[in-house]
């Protein structure tokens, strides 16, 4: 891999769109070297001792936030969590003022999740701390794409040449955007599939194939990635009911037969069983959904490590 030859130089991880294949390779290889720590009886290394990480979550999150927290703790960073409820933001403080106040406490890294696209970019311009985008609206979710790629690599040994079908609510998904950037940069073919009412305008310009039936999307796929359907949007003109959605676009065992025999099934969670994915597929032998969660910790350790500016020579 090329990772031996390049060094990480970015202060922030805002998205996959701006990364080079070599940088993506470095992140994935670094995650590989951290994954073993999670298998030890004592799951802690001193790598980020004395570093302060603030987790700034403006949107509810269980999986991503816990994953970052665990990754931070396994690296011995001091971390604090900041969420919107009960915060100054509820008292009318602007986002910038909140951020500048946090900056005044001199954190090394800020992990941010926010419902509005571009907020991590806005903070990155103002903060000395490195900023990690943990999801900004429907824009990007880079660590999710990295953990997905990590999981695919573990099973397929490569990314280049694979056919990856991503199915579901393409329009509102940050996961799909980061995955499209990552997978196409690494040489995979991406086909996005789903209801016409959930497909964003001009999505083919992102370098993907577009399918409007689940069957067309699944045919020949090496990887099947399901996206969460946001039930709260149901009835708001995208599709009439969950039942009707499942009839057209739900992943069943029967439909999965169209994919390659050794295709793996992924889902970033949280899942709606019986809406976008049948339970027997989610829990079946092809599913790697829980592995994704495990690898998420390794990937986030790699990101925290590289962004913290700690080089191997500084490590004791």
Partner 1 sequence: MASLLIHGGRIVDPSQGLDGPADLLIEDGAVARIDGKIAKPKGVETLDATGLVVTPGLIDIHVHLREPGQEYKETVATGTRAAAAGGFTAVACMANTVPVHDNRAITELILLEAERAGFARVYPIGAISKGMQGQELAEIGEMVAAGAVAVSDDGLPVMNAELMRRALLYTQHYGIPVIQHAEDLTLTGKGVMHEGEWSTRLGLIGIPGSAEDVMVARDLILTEDTQGRYHVAHLSTARSLDLVRLGRSRGLRVTCEVAPHHLILTDEEVAKTGFSTHCKMKPPLRSSRDREALIQGLVDGTVDCIASDHAPHHADEKDVEFDKAPFGILGLETTLSLCLDRFVHAGLLTLPRLVELLSTGPARVLGLPGGTLQVGSPADVSIFDLDGEVTIVAADFRSKSRNTPFDGWTLRGRPVATVLGGRKVSPLP
> By C-beta, is 7 or 91 nearer to partner 1?
91
Does position 138 interact with partner 1 (CB under 8 A)? The reply is yes
Which 178-217 positions form the footprint of partner 1 (CB under 8 A)?
A: 200-203, 205-206
Three-class HEC string of 224-258:
EEECCCCHHHCCCCCCCCHHHHHHHHCECHHHHCC
289-307 helix and 21-35 helix, angle to the nearest 10 degrees: 110
d(CA 207, CA 222) in angstroms, rounded, equals 18
Based on the shown chain and the rule CB under 8 A, indicate whether residue 228 belongs to the binding site for partner 1.
Answer: no
Span of 24-32, 68-76, 134-142, 216-224 interacting with partner 1 by CB under 8 A: 134-142
Residue 104 or 312: the one with the smaller Cβ distance to partner 1 is 104
Could you say whether residue 293 binds partner 1 (CB under 8 A)? no
Nearest distance, CB of residue 53 and partner 1, angstroms: 22
The least distance separating partner 1 from the CB of residue 279, rounded to whole angstroms, comes to 30
How far apart are alpha carbons 113 and 180 in whole angstroms?
Answer: 20
> Residue 84 and residue 61: Cα distance in Å, rounded?
12
CB nearer to partner 1: give 81 or 94: 94
Is the CB of 16 or the CB of 218 nearer to partner 1? 16
- The closest of 97, 131, 91 to 114, measured between CA atoms, is 131
Q: Which is nearer to partner 1, 6 or 100 (CB)?
A: 100
Q: Residues 48, 110, 111, 119: which binds partner 1 (CB under 8 A)?
A: 119
**Is 114 a binder of partner 1 (CB under 8 A)?**
yes
Measured from the CB atom, is 163 or 174 closer to partner 1? 174
Q: Cβ of residue 126: shortest distance to partner 1, in angstroms?
A: 10
Query: Should residue 89 be labelled a site residue for partner 1 when binding is judged by CB under 8 A?
Result: no
Instruction: Convert 173-209 into a string of H (helix), E (strand) and C (coil).
Output: CHHHHHHHHHHHHCCCEEEEECCHHHCCCCHHHHCCE
Q: How many residues bind partner 1 (CB under 8 A)?
A: 26
Nearer to partner 1, 203 or 310 (CB): 203
Token pair 């069943």: residue: 252
State how far the alpha carbon of 180 is from the alpha carbons of 53, 156, 174, 186, 236, in Å: 29, 18, 10, 10, 26
Burial of residue 27, with CB atoms counted within 10 A of its CB: 0-12 exposed, 13-18 middle, 19 or more buried: buried
Q: Please list every residue from 15 through 44 that binds partner 1, using CB under 8 A.
A: 17
Q: Does 276 bind partner 1 (CB under 8 A)?
A: no
Does residue 177 belong to the site contacting partner 1 (CB under 8 A)? yes
Could you say which DSSP state residue 32 is in? H
Min CB(80)–partner 1 separation in Å: 22
* Helix/strand/coil (H/E/C) assignment for every residue in 252-307: CHHHHCCCCCCCEEECCCCCCECCCECHHHHCCCCECHHHHHHHHHHHHHHHHHHH
Kindly state the smallest distance separating residue 137's Cβ from partner 1, in Å. Answer: 5
Tell the residue number behind the tokens 């280049």, with chain if given: 160
- Could you give the CA distance from residue 250 to residue 112 in angstroms, rounded to a whole number? 32
Nearer to partner 1, 183 or 297 (CB): 183
Which residues are bridge partners to 114 per DSSP?
136
Q: In whole angstroms, how close is the CB of 139 to partner 1 at the nearest point?
A: 3
Interface pick for partner 1 out of 2, 33, 81, 94 (rule CB under 8 A): 94
Binding site for partner 1 (CB under 8 A): 17, 94-96, 114-119, 121-122, 125, 136-140, 174, 177, 200-203, 205-206
């Amino acid at each position: 891999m090329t990772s031996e030859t390049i060094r990480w130089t970015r202060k922030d991880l805002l998205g996959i769109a701006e990364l080079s294949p070599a940088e993506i390779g470095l992140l994935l290889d670094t995650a590989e070297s951290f994954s073993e720590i999670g298998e030890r009886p004592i799951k802690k290394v001193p790598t980020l001792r004395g570093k302060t990480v603030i987790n700034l979550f403006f949107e509810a999150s269980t999986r991503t936030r816990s994953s970052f927290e665990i990754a931070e703790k396994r690296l011995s960073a001091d971390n604090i969590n900041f969420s919107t409820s009960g915060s100054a933001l509820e008292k009318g403080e602007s986002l910038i003022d909140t951020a500048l106040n946090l900056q005044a406490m001199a954190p090394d890294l800020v992990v941010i999740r926010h419902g509005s696209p571009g907020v991590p970019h806005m903070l990155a311009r103002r903060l000395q701390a490195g900023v990690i985008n943990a999801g900004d609206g429907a824009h990007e979710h880079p660590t999710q794409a990295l953990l997905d790629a990590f999981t695919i690599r573990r099973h397929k040994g490569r990314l280049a040449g694979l056919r990856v079908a991503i199915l579901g609510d393409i329009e509102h998904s940050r996961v799909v955007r980061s995955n499209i950037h990552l997978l196409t940069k690494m040489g995979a073919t991406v086909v996005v599939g789903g209801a016409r009412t959930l497909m964003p305008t001009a999505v083919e310009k992102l370098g993907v194939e577009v399918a409007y039936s689940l069957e067309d999307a699944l045919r020949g796929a090496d990887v099947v990635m399901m996206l969460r359907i946001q039930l709260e949007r149901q009835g708001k003109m995208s599709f009439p009911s969950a039942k009707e959605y499942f009839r057209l676009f739900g992943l069943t065992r029967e439909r999965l037969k169209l994919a390659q025999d050794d295709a793996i099934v992924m889902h970033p969670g949280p899942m709606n069983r019986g809406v976008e994915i049948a339970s027997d597929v989610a829990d079946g032998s092809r599913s790697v959904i829980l592995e994704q969660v495990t690898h998420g910790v390794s990937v986030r350790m790699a990101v925290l490590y590289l962004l913290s500016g700690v080089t191997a020579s500084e490590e004791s």
